[in-house]
């Protein structure tokens, strides 16, 4: 496995690669969720590149960029064990040279709501770094988790709008045995908060049961029930509960098509997001 830290070296490496290149972009502090993407990509690609880069431009000024968990030595061991060919771990200057002004942004409904509303600039930071990684690494395929459902859809839209020759693959959320979605930020939770965080998977399960088992189609009723459940957990504070069209993330009044329940909830100082597909029963 090669560790590459500059764009120039990465471009030289690409020139020597023959066959399909797959990319899994990450911010490190790897867990089984990341590794599930790596394993799938390993099966597909002849050359597998994993990027490890804590992208400063996707964090707001009051957010956790400085505190974000970092464990590069452990990450390298895990990636080596998965048979990764290249780890691309650039410095911030390498991705954002002095005077950088090449922002890549998806505008409109898809980015205005949800994370776009609660984390101004976050999605623009994501599309910008992903576009730069695609430009340097030139993968045919790139792999993203459904865990970050809005990010996945925004990256897909960015690829369409910029006409980039990359196939974006979305893969299911990997969970802890008790249902909590794996996340690098789970490391911030105290033992008490870790228990409280189970309110997220419970809320998703409640919504799924209402829509899929009981046939509820009134999105407001689902949102209300989910909000009530979360409010009963004293350590939890809701940023948003949304019932949205599965693809466009447009808010729904009636769940008459495939939908997503999207949650952003703060548990103490830790902000967690999660989501679940809701498939309405046919009438």
* Residue 148 in contact with ligand AMP, rule: CB under 6 A: yes
> CA nearest 123: which of 111, 109, 113, 131?
111
Q: How far is the first Cα of the chain from the last one, in angstroms, to the nearest whole number?
A: 53
**Pairing of the two strands 236-245 and 259-267:** antiparallel
> CA nearest 147: which of 262, 56, 41?
262
Nearer to ligand AMP, 68 or 223 (CB): 68
Do 34 and 26 form a contact (C-beta atoms < 8 A)?
Answer: yes
Backbone angles phi, psi at 186, to 5 degrees: -60, -25
Do 168 and 159 form a contact (C-beta atoms < 8 A)?
Answer: yes
* Residue 68 in contact with ligand AMP, rule: CB under 6 A: no
* Residue 144 in contact with ligand AMP, rule: CB under 6 A: yes
State CA 3 to chain mean position distance: 24
User: Segment near ligand AMP (CB under 6 A), from 3-11, 75-83, 141-149, 208-216?
Assistant: 141-149
Applying CB under 6 A, among 4, 10, 36, 180 the residue interacting with ligand AMP is 36
Angle (CA) 56-130-161 rounded to 5° is 130
User: If you count DSSP H runs as helices and E runs as strands, how many of each does the chain have, helices first?
Assistant: 11, 9
User: Segment near ligand AMP (CB under 6 A), from 68-76, 128-136, 144-152, 186-194?
Assistant: 144-152
How far apart, in Å, are the Cα atoms of 68 and each of 45, 64, 217, 237? 30, 6, 39, 21
* Residue 27 in contact with ligand AMP, rule: CB under 6 A: yes
User: Segment near ligand AMP (CB under 6 A), from 34-42, 72-80, 91-99, 197-205?
Assistant: 34-42
34 catalytic? Reply is yes
* Residue 147 in contact with ligand AMP, rule: CB under 6 A: yes
User: What is the rounded CA–CA span in Å between residue 202 and residue 175?
Assistant: 13
User: What is the rounded CA–CA span in Å between residue 1 and residue 8?
Assistant: 18
CB of 249 to ligand AMP, least distance (A): 15
CB of 283 to ligand AMP, least distance (A): 33
Nearer to ligand AMP, 174 or 225 (CB): 174
Q: Taking CB under 6 A as the rule, which mask of x and - marks residues 184-223 in contact with ligand AMP?
A: x---------------------------------------
Q: Taking CB under 6 A as the rule, which mask of x and - marks residues 91-130 in contact with ligand AMP?
A: ----------------------------------------
Applying CB under 6 A, among 4, 13, 33, 132 the residue interacting with ligand AMP is 33
User: Segment near ligand AMP (CB under 6 A), from 31-39, 66-74, 82-90, 194-202?
Assistant: 31-39
User: What is the rounded CA–CA span in Å between residue 79 and residue 258?
Assistant: 35
Binding site for ligand AMP (CB under 6 A): 26-27, 33-34, 36-37, 144-145, 147-148, 173-174, 181-184
- Cite the active site residues: 34
């Amino acid at each position: 496995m090669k560790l590459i830290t500059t764009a120039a070296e990465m471009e030289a490496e690409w020139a020597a690669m023959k066959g399909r290149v797959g990319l899994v972009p990450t911010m490190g502090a790897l867990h089984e969720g990341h590794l599930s993407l790596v394993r799938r990509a390993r099966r597909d690609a002849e050359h597998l590149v994993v990027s490890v880069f804590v992208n400063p431009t996707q964090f707001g000024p009051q957010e956790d960029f400085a505190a974000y968990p970092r464990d590069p030595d452990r990450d390298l061991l895990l990636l080596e064990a998965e048979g990764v060919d290249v780890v691309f771990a650039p410095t911030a200057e390498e991705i954002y040279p002095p005077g950088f002004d090449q922002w890549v942004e998806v505008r409109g409904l898809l980015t205005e709501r949800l994370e776009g509303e609660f984390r101004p600039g976050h999605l623009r930071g994501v599309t910008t770094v992903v576009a730069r990684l695609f430009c340097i690494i030139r993968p045919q395929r790139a792999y993203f988790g459904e865990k970050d459902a809005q990010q996945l859809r925004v990256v897909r839209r960015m690829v369409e709008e910029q006409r980039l020759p990359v196939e974006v693959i979305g893969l299911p959320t990997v969970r802890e045995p008790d249902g909590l979605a794996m996340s690098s930020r789970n490391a911030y939770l105290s033992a008490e908060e870790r228990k409280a965080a189970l309110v997220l998977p419970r809320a998703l399960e409640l919504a799924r049961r209402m829509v899929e088992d009981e046939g509820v189609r009134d999105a407001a009723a689902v949102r209300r029930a989910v909000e009530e459940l979360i409010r009963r957990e004293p350590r939890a504070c809701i940023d948003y509960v949304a019932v949205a069209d599965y693809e466009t993330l447009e808010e729904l009044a009636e769940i008459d098509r495939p939908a997503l329940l999207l949650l952003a909830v703060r548990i103490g100082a830790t902000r967690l997001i999660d989501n679940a597909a809701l498939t309405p029963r046919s009438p």
